[in-house]
């Protein structure tokens, strides 16, 4: 720091009859070797919309690949994590990842058309470019689940975040004991990933139980019943099983009831939550439930967390 | 702090360690000098070498931090500013990115390299920045906040509590680090704690302005410190407050407050530790080029917890008022080891319907407002 001519400046300046201070001009603020902004967690990375699959009305499956080849190949996530998706000009929204980390290269996001950002996404076409950052959140505790039985219970749109866990378990079949999927939708044409899941019905290394509440078209091959009805066919040992649950509130209510009746400890029941988010990295405050942030402590919470956090469901 | 058990790390130590870890400019006061009061304007002009000088200024009947063009405008003996210095580090509105179809999202760094010297910051406000550091560091450091924090120097000044101050109860009446210099008024001099290497440079740049401290100066400091301690008119006990919030989650007080609260969010805007923000993309008409802008937000606003599709997890005003208190006094303690409140009194001062945090806490504790321990002995 060069020694300033203190007295001269001060005389120009001091006291009630002071004159205006000369403007501050010296700006030795940043050195070239020190970037002004360090690693920016809010930076969206550009990704190309590879494919739009009009899976279910207002619930399409979008496949993305990062433009940056290194990122496209290097991106890894845990099942149950989410990304922040930016649609140019519309904004940013949290979307759970539906593809499994065991199938890298692309990201599949099952997006419900519900607001400004998702509305704009539905107007995009293949080859359009979006921004993606992440992955965020805790994801399913797969390291804790491994070696145990896995019971996945999904209702309606709840399959979207659970599909990543399902395929992770199938692709790492030897890490888990039994795998059971229970999934119920209102009608066959509202079932997410229907064809893919139907193809699992005959597999012997996992139990795939699918049901619909009603079958207006009369083409449904599997069961017609409510989701809790599938519990008749499930034998789960609560001491060796982790249950992953996602769905609308009514699904939580009945599935949780059944799991508790089976004797599941509350910390072996895992739930995926949805909240408004603006940052995804524990700053903006929007996704708080009680004293936790959905984006950092969640979106996967145990049922024990859920009953101890106010406002959670 | 009620939450902390014997044997565990004290919340203050956690805070200190975390802040130290993330802010290498904090090594604690290394020395103490003194500045003659009548030389303060000289020193202020020296500070021009370190950045734009900003200080509290009287405007329309209250105080605001703003750029000082004439030293005579600055008011170092002030109660509290309308807005806390938070506005320098997390501006009410700032552009995070500019986006164009060709270049994608380009971080906006304009204005971030502005060097500012903030002179005359009270201990509670410095403490609040140490608290914001906890939030804006962590696993994902916020580079916009961080850069401003590096480029803005802080010079603290002591104060005399008024009828709204309860920083002592919140353990924020003194601050041991987080400032470059801190001035304690001891009459004809300001006793000056040097907190950082930058602060040391400021003292050195002032040449002979600063003098050595004598034992009499220290004695005078202690006398004034004791006197200040006795000037506090408000007291609130925060020990086991998180537990009480937990137990009183269903209290009827929340419905009462919900009926009064206007959801205006003023308390969040003036709060030195409220950091909730909203992010929105702004585009020019008919274009997909534009800016991603972040603005201050409040958990009292109706849509704060609303998700796309219409569900709102805090639909009622009562639930939002409750959430704000709960997050500051319970949630933040669980996450960071201390309440996110420094007792500055701004929220009570600004609330249009007179919601008073001291009254709320004391009612939850079952202590009559008028009969708090300290008020009774006043």
pLDDT of residue A15: 39
Q: Are residues A166 and A79 in the same domain?
A: no
- Decide if B36 touches A, using CB distance below 8 A: no
Tokens matching residue A242: 């982790």
pLDDT grade for A253, boundaries at 50, 70 and 90: confident
CA distance, residue B161 to nearest chain A CA (Å) = 27
CA distance A236 to A238: 6
Residue A235 pLDDT more than 80?
yes
Per-residue pLDDT of chain B (378 residues; tens, 9 = 90+): 334 444 444 444 444 444 443 344 444 455 899 999 999 989 999 999 999 999 999 998 899 999 998 888 899 999 999 999 999 999 999 999 999 888 889 999 888 888 999 999 999 999 999 999 999 988 889 999 999 999 999 999 999 999 999 999 988 998 989 999 999 999 999 999 999 999 999 999 998 899 999 999 999 999 999 999 888 888 888 888 888 888 888 888 999 999 999 999 999 999 999 999 999 999 887 777 899 999 999 998 988 888 776 778 888 888 899 889 888 888 888 888 888 999 999 999 999 999 999 988 888 888 765 444 444 333
Contact yes or no for A291 and B327 at CB 8 A: yes
Residue A190 lies in a domain: yes
**Helical ranges in A108-246 per DSSP H:** 116-122, 142-145, 159-171, 194-198
- Shortest CB distance from B288 goes to which of A89, A118, A278? A89
- The fraction of chain A above a pLDDT of 90, given in percent, is 59
CA distance B309 to B46: 57
Annotate B168-231 with DSSP letters as a single string: TTTT-SS-SSS-SEEEEE-SSEEEEEE-SHHHHHHHHHTGGG-B---HHHHHHHHHHHHHHHHT
Q: Are residues A130 and A190 in the same domain?
A: no
Q: Is the ipTM of this complex over 0.85?
A: no
Contact yes or no for B104 and A19 at CB 8 A: no
- Dihedral of alpha carbons B287, B290, B292, B293, sign: negative
What is the residue range of A63's domain? 45-136
Indicate which of A21, A90, A279 best probes the interface with B, i.e. most B CBs within 10 Å of its own CB: A21
Within 8 A of A296 by CB-CB distance, chain B residues are: 139
Strands (E), B47-144: 52-59, 62-67, 93-100, 104-107, 116-121
- Domain total in chain A: 2
Residue A75 lies in a domain: yes
CA distance, residue B374 to nearest chain A CA (Å) = 31
CA distance A286 to B152: 28
- Shortest CB distance from B109 goes to which of A13, A36, A115? A36
Indicate which of A8, A14, A17, A23 best probes the interface with B, i.e. most B CBs within 10 Å of its own CB: A14
Q: What is the CATH number of the domain that holds A49?
A: 2.40.30.10
Q: Are residues A77 and A149 in the same domain?
A: no
- Shortest CB distance from B308 goes to which of A46, A115, A296? A115
Lookup result for tokens 């971030």: B112
CA distance B297 to B274: 9
Helix (H, G, I), strand (E, B), or coil: what is residue A50?
strand
Lookup result for tokens 């219970």: A153
Q: What is the CATH number of the domain that holds A257?
A: 3.40.50.80
Residue A246 lies in a domain: yes
- Decide if B279 touches A, using CB distance below 8 A: yes
Interface of A with B in 153-182 (CB under 8 A): none
Within 8 A of B330 by CB-CB distance, chain A residues are: 291
DSSP B300: T
Tokens matching residue B152: 């803005």
Which residue, A136, A169, A198, sits at the end of a domain? A136
What's the alpha-carbon Rg for chain A, to the nearest Å? Answer: 25
Q: Are residues A131 and A188 in the same domain?
A: no
Residue A91 lies in a domain: yes
Residue A22 burial (C-beta neighbours within 10 Å; 0-12, 13-18, 19+): exposed
- Decide if B138 touches A, using CB distance below 8 A: yes
- Smallest CA-to-CA distance from B94 within B144, B152, B149 is with B144
pLDDT grade for A36, boundaries at 50, 70 and 90: low
pLDDT grade for A313, boundaries at 50, 70 and 90: low
Q: Are residues A130 and A146 in the same domain?
A: no
Q: Are residues A100 and A187 in the same domain?
A: no
CA distance A199 to A185: 17
Arithmetic mean of pLDDT, A128-139: 92
Contact yes or no for B143 and A7 at CB 8 A: no
pLDDT of residue B126: 96
- Decide if A6 touches B, using CB distance below 8 A: yes
CA distance, residue A96 to nearest chain B CA (Å) = 14
- Smallest CA-to-CA distance from A206 within A249, A175, A228, A250 is with A175
Tokens matching residue A118: 């998702």
CA distance, residue B140 to nearest chain A CA (Å) = 6
For B243, phi then psi, to 5°, come to: -65, -40
CA distance A227 to A157: 13
Residue A28 lies in a domain: no
Q: Are residues A55 and A169 in the same domain?
A: no
CA distance A248 to A185: 11
CA distance A15 to B237: 44
Contact yes or no for A21 and B290 at CB 8 A: no
pLDDT grade for A31, boundaries at 50, 70 and 90: very low
- Decide if B307 touches A, using CB distance below 8 A: yes
CA distance B30 to B259: 51
Span A166-181, pLDDT tens digits: 999 999 999 999 999 9
Q: Are residues A152 and A225 in the same domain?
A: yes
Indicate which of A6, A48, A132, A133 best probes the interface with B, i.e. most B CBs within 10 Å of its own CB: A6
Residue A134 pLDDT more than 70?
yes
Within 8 A of A88 by CB-CB distance, chain B residues are: 99, 101, 281, 288
CA distance, residue A235 to nearest chain B CA (Å) = 35
Q: Are residues A64 and A81 in the same domain?
A: yes
- Decide if A33 touches B, using CB distance below 8 A: no
Within 8 A of B139 by CB-CB distance, chain A residues are: 281-282, 296
- Smallest CA-to-CA distance from A94 within A111, A79, A77, A72 is with A111
Tokens matching residue A129: 């470019």
B221: alpha, beta or left? (left if phi > 0; alpha if psi -120 to 50): alpha
CA distance B146 to B143: 5
Indicate which of B38, B96, B138, B140 best probes the interface with A, i.e. most A CBs within 10 Å of its own CB: B140
Tokens matching residue B145: 């906040």
The residue that leads in pLDDT, A236 or A31, is: A236
What Å distances lie between residue B236 and A64, B127, B329, B364, CA to CA?
54, 18, 12, 11
Q: Are residues A153 and A244 in the same domain?
A: yes
Within 8 A of A292 by CB-CB distance, chain B residues are: 331, 335
Annotate B309-334 with DSSP letters as a single string: TS-BTT-SHHHHHHHHHHIIIIIHHH
Interface of A with B in 93-152 (CB under 8 A): 93, 112, 114-115, 117-118, 129, 131
Helix (H, G, I), strand (E, B), or coil: what is residue B288?
coil
CA distance, residue A254 to nearest chain B CA (Å) = 20
Which residue, A136, A170, A194, sits at the end of a domain? A136
Which residue, A136, A158, A186, sits at the end of a domain? A136
Contact yes or no for A284 and B105 at CB 8 A: no
How open is the CA angle B308-A276-A41, to the nearest 5 degrees? 130
Contact yes or no for A291 and B330 at CB 8 A: yes
What Å distances lie between residue A124 and A52, B226, B264, CA to CA?
9, 67, 38
Residue A214 lies in a domain: yes
- Shortest CB distance from B206 goes to which of A6, A41, A89? A6
pLDDT of residue B289: 86
CA A180 from chain centre, in angstroms, equals 22
Residue A83 lies in a domain: yes
Q: Are residues A254 and A174 in the same domain?
A: yes
Residue A13 lies in a domain: no
Q: Are residues A154 and A118 in the same domain?
A: no
């Amino acid at each position: 720091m060069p020694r300033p001519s203190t007295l001269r400046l001060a005389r120009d300046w001091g006291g009630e009859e002071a004159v205006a201070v000369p403007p501050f001009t010296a700006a030795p603020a940043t050195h070239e070797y020190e970037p002004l902004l360090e690693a920016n967690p809010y930076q969206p990375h550009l990704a190309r919309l590879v494919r739009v699959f009009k899976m279910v009305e207002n619930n399409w499956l979008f496949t993305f690949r990062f433009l940056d080849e290194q990122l496209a190949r290097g991106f890894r996530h845990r099942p149950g994590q989410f990304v922040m998706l930016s649609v140019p000009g519309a904004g940013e929204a949290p979307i759970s990842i539906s593809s499994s980390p065991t199938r890298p290269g692309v990201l599949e996001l099952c997006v419900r058309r519900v607001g400004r950002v998702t509305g704009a996404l539905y107007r995009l076409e293949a080859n359009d470019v979006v921004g993606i950052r992440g992955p965020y959140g805790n994801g399913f505790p797969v390291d804790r689940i491994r070696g145990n039985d896995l019971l996945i219970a999904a209702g309606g749109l709840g399959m979207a975040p659970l599909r990543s866990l399902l395929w992770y378990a199938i692709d790492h079949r030897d890490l888990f004991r039994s795998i059971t999927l229970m999934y119920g939708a209102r009608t066959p044409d509202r079932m997410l990933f229907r064809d893919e899941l139907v193809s699992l019905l005959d597999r012997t290394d996992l139990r795939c139980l699918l049901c619909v509440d009603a079958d207006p078209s009369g083409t449904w091959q599997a069961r017609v019943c409510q989701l809790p009805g599938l519990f008749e066919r499930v034998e789960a040992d609560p001491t060796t099983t982790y249950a992953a649950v996602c769905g609308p509130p009514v699904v939580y209510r009945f599935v949780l009831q059944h799991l508790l009746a089976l004797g599941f400890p509350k910390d072996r029941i895992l739930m995926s939550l949805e909240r408004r988010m603006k940052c995804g990295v524990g700053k903006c405050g929007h996704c708080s439930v009680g004293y936790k942030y959905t984006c950092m402590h969640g979106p996967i919470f145990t049922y024990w967390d859920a009953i101890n956090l106010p406002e959670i469901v | 702090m009620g939450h902390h058990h014997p044997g565990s790390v004290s919340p203050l130590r956690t805070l200190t360690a975390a802040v130290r870890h993330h802010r290498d400019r904090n090594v604690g006061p290394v020395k103490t000098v003194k500045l003659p009061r009548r030389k303060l304007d000289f020193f202020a002009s020296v500070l021009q070498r370190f950045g734009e000088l900003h200080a509290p200024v009287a405007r329309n009947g209250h105080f605001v931090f703003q750029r000082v063009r004439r030293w005579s405008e600055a008011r170092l003996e002030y109660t509290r500013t309308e807005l806390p210095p938070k506005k320098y580090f997390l501006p009410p509105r700032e552009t995070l990115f500019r986006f164009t179809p060709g270049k994608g999202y380009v971080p906006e760094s304009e204005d971030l390299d502005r060097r500012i010297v903030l002179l005359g910051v009270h201990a509670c406000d410095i403490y609040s920045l140490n608290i914001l550091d906890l939030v804006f560091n962590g696993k994902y450091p916020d580079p916009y906040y961080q850069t401003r924090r590096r480029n803005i120097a802080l010079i603290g000044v002591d104060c005399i509590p008024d009828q709204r101050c309860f920083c002592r109860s919140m353990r924020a009446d003194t601050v041991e680090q987080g400032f470059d210099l801190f001035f304690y008024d001891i009459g004809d001099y300001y006793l000056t704690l040097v907190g950082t290497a930058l602060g040391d440079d400021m003292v050195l740049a002032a040449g002979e302005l600063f003098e050595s401290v004598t034992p009499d100066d220290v004695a005078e400091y202690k006398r004034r410190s004791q006197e200040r301690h006795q000037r506090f008119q408000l007291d609130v006990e925060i020990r086991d407050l998180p537990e009480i919030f937990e137990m009183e989650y269903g209290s009827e007080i929340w419905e009462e407050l919900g009926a009064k609260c206007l959801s205006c969010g003023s308390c969040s805007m003036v709060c030195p530790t409220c950091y909730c923000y909203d992010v929105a993309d702004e585009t020019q008409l008919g274009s997909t080029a534009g800016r991603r802008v972040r603005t201050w937000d409040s958990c009292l606003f109706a849509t704060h917890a609303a998700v796309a599709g219409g569900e709102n997890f805090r639909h009622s005003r009562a639930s939002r008022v409750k959430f704000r208190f709960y997050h500051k006094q319970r949630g933040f303690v669980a996450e960071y080891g201390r309440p996110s409140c420094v007792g500055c009194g701004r929220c009570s001062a600004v609330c249009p319907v007179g919601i008073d945090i001291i009254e709320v806490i004391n009612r939850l504790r079952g202590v009559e407002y008028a009969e708090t321990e300290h008020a009774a002995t006043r």
